[in-house]
């Protein structure tokens, strides 16, 4: 195969273009007379002529015909325009269209040996805006998930000793939900997100490289309200231990400054409904800007104390190996980061011409101030449009126009937050932290668009 035969952009025609106008008229005539078999055979023949093994029925429904009298999708009224549809409440809790069945949480094969201590990634390549549908929110479990009876769930507040608070307390869900609530949009990102790529490229798509990232509107009670009620001594108690009710009884240390600011929530709501069981139903902690492991699920207990706790997931995992052989401990903030989600790895651009490059940016230190996009591997950058509300410690959607000329392109995005911090390149990150860390990889991502339209995950040097 000479290089001229290689597909560039849309050099491989869809089979319907191989039907001449007369052929199309005949298909319509046959279709009208009810001969669907004929229609199928005609497309099969066209597909064979094009030498492409593609599903002909699918083509008939997904591609417009530009020749002849017009597109059969327009000229032939479909069933849904001529028949009776489904009744209300056919699905008491609605489902996505069956045509969206490819949009799923997925595991990366071989990442873990057990599905109960594992992670499933959110399909960022198929999402719009900033909200992650609750059913597609990434999952990370340490000892399997549970669907807990909310009438039996309790939250306890106590101190590492009695001098830390006036009164140890217990709350039911009914009581917690009587308190004044707030609703806020925040991103949640696992500290290990993009961790597989510290050393080199390891996964093909943005789902696996960045999909331990989601964003929801969370509803709950500021933890400060509860601690005030229990009479916490804020001078002594500068650390909070959050503990879950699942098998792992997950524990994490949170600084009291974050609780005092009112931003830490004891949350029961997510995107207008109760939390999903995979997200900690009926109660979880929301710790904006901080890695997901601190957002303790199935929250059963809050202890206040005067020292950090060095729990397993802050003494054995979620520590960063840096050059010199030391581990950074209690590294919790998710620093400013961004990624282009469309187009992204594992996809194929269908044609040359106009595209809207779109992606997500976020910072654990506050609002996104600017996102720049490069299509030439970082030589030249243009500032993207920030869409909609730009909220603190929340995902921000960015968009920028691009006309693809069919030549190879290296697409990158680089975010800046309101503190002036600029997302680093891999080179800049590795200069400080080496290549043996797992957590807090916020380097600039590069997607290579090949001449044939296929997009690949690459790293530059």
- Which stretch in 17-25, 77-85, 212-220, 307-315 sits in contact with other proteins by CB under 8 A? 307-315
Contact between 458 and other proteins (CB under 8 A)? Answer: yes
Q: Output the smallest distance, CB 137 to other proteins, in A.
A: 17
Contacts of 358 (CB under 8 A, 6+ apart): 340, 341, 342, 397, 398, 399, 400
CB nearer to other proteins: give 69 or 100.
100
Contact between 235 and other proteins (CB under 8 A)? Answer: no
Cα torsion angle, 274, 280, 284, 289, sign: negative
- Which stretch in 34-42, 129-137, 274-282, 298-306 sits in contact with other proteins by CB under 8 A? 298-306
Query: Binding other proteins by CB under 8 A: which of 118, 126, 183, 399?
Result: 126
- Which stretch in 31-39, 48-56, 84-92, 133-141 sits in contact with other proteins by CB under 8 A? 48-56
Q: Output the smallest distance, CB 389 to other proteins, in A.
A: 23
What SS3 state is found at 313? helix
Residues of this chain, 405-434, that bind other proteins according to CB under 8 A: 410, 414, 416, 421-425, 427-429, 431-433
Dihedrals phi, psi of 203, to nearest 5 degrees: -135, 155
> CB count, 10 Å around CB of 295?
27
- Which stretch in 27-35, 54-62, 75-83, 274-282 sits in contact with other proteins by CB under 8 A? 54-62
Residue 114 in tokens? 């057990």
Contact between 205 and other proteins (CB under 8 A)? Answer: yes
Contact between 100 and other proteins (CB under 8 A)? Answer: yes
Contact between 316 and other proteins (CB under 8 A)? Answer: yes
- 399/232 Cα distance (integer angstroms): 46
Contact between 72 and other proteins (CB under 8 A)? Answer: no
- 141/399 Cα distance (integer angstroms): 33
Cβ atoms of residues 10 and 55 within 8 Å: no
Query: Binding other proteins by CB under 8 A: which of 92, 102, 151, 405?
Result: 102
Cβ atoms of residues 343 and 455 within 8 Å: yes
b/e per residue, 39-67, with b = 16+ CB within 10 A?
beebbeebbeebeeeeebeebbeeeebee
Query: Binding other proteins by CB under 8 A: which of 269, 322, 352, 399?
Result: 322
Query: Binding other proteins by CB under 8 A: which of 326, 385, 389, 401?
Result: 326
How many residues sit in the footprint of other proteins (CB under 8 A)?
150
Contact between 298 and other proteins (CB under 8 A)? Answer: no
Contact between 392 and other proteins (CB under 8 A)? Answer: no
CB nearer to other proteins: give 23 or 255.
255
CB nearer to other proteins: give 26 or 126.
126
Contact between 267 and other proteins (CB under 8 A)? Answer: no
Here's the x/- map for other proteins, 344-383, by CB under 8 A: it reads as: --xxxxx----xx-------x-----x-x---xxxxxxx-
DSSP string of 16-78, one letter each residue: GGGS-HHHHHHHHHHHHTT-HHHHHHHHHHHHHHHT----HHHHHHHS---STT--HHHHS--
Contact between 106 and other proteins (CB under 8 A)? Answer: yes
Dihedrals phi, psi of 99, to nearest 5 degrees: -75, -5
Contact between 308 and other proteins (CB under 8 A)? Answer: yes
Residues of this chain, 6-25, that bind other proteins according to CB under 8 A: 6-7, 12, 14
What SS3 state is found at 112? coil
Residue 219 in tokens? 């509803």
| H/E stretch holding 80 | helix 79-82
Contact between 231 and other proteins (CB under 8 A)? Answer: yes
Contacts of 193 (CB under 8 A, 6+ apart): 210, 211, 212, 213, 441
- Which stretch in 25-33, 35-43, 254-262, 266-274 sits in contact with other proteins by CB under 8 A? 254-262
What SS3 state is found at 304? strand
Cβ atoms of residues 242 and 254 within 8 Å: yes
The DSSP code for 14 is -
Q: Output the smallest distance, CB 47 to other proteins, in A.
A: 11
Residues of this chain, 142-171, that bind other proteins according to CB under 8 A: 142-144, 156-158, 160-161, 167-171
Contact between 64 and other proteins (CB under 8 A)? Answer: no
Query: Binding other proteins by CB under 8 A: which of 23, 68, 204, 366?
Result: 204
């Amino acid at each position: 195969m000479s290089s001229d035969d290689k597909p560039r952009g849309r050099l491989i025609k869809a089979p319907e273009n191989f039907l001449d106008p007369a052929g199309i008229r005949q298909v319509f005539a046959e279709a009208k007379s009810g001969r669907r078999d004929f229609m199928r055979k005609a497309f099969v023949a066209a597909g064979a002529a094009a030498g492409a093994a593609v599903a002909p029925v699918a083509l008939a429904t997904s591609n417009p015909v530009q020749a002849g009298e017009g597109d059969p999708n327009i000229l032939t009224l479909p069933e849904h325009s001529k028949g009776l549809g489904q009744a209300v409440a056919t699905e008491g809790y609605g489902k996505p269209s069956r045509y969206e069945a490819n949009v799923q949480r997925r595991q990366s094969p071989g990442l873990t040996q057990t599905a109960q201590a594992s992670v499933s990634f959110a399909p960022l390549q198929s999402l719009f805006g900033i909200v992650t549908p609750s059913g597609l929110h990434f999952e990370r479990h340490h000892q399997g998930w549970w669907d807990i009876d909310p009438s039996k769930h309790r939250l306890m507040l106590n101190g590492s000793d009695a001098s830390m608070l006036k009164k140890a307390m217990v709350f039911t869900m009914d009581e917690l939900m009587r308190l004044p609530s707030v609703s806020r949009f925040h991103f949640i990102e696992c500290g290990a997100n993009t961790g597989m790529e510290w050393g080199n490229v390891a996964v093909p798509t943005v789902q696996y490289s960045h999909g331990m990232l989601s964003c929801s509107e969370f509803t709950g009670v500021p933890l400060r309200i509860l601690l005030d009620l229990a009479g916490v001594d804020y001078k002594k108690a500068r650390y909070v231990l959050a503990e879950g009710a699942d098998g792992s009884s997950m524990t994490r240390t949170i600084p009291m400054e974050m609780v005092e600011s009112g931003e830490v929530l004891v949350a029961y709501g997510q995107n207008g409904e109760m939390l999903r069981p995979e997200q900690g139903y009926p109660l979880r902690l929301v710790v904006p800007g901080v890695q997901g492991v601190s957002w303790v699920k199935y929250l059963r207990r809050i202890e206040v104390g005067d020292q950090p706790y060095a729990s397993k997931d802050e003494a054995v995992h979620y520590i960063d190996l840096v050059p010199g052989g030391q581990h950074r401990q209690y590294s919790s903030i998710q620093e400013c980061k961004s990624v282009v989600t469309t187009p992204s790895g594992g996809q194929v651009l269908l044609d040359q011409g106009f595209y809207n490059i779109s992606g997500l940016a976020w910072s654990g230190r506050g609002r996104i101030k600017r996102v720049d996009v490069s299509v030439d591997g970082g030589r030249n950058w243009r500032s993207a449009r920030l869409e909609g509300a730009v909220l603190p410690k929340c995902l921000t959607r960015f968009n920028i126009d691009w006309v693809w000329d069919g030549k190879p392109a290296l697409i990158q995005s680089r975010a800046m937050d309101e503190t002036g911090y600029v997302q680093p390149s891999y080179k800049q990150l590795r200069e400080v932290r080496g290549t043996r860390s797992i957590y807090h990889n916020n380097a600039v991502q590069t997607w290579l668009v090949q001449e044939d339209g296929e997009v690949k995950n690459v790293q530059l040097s």
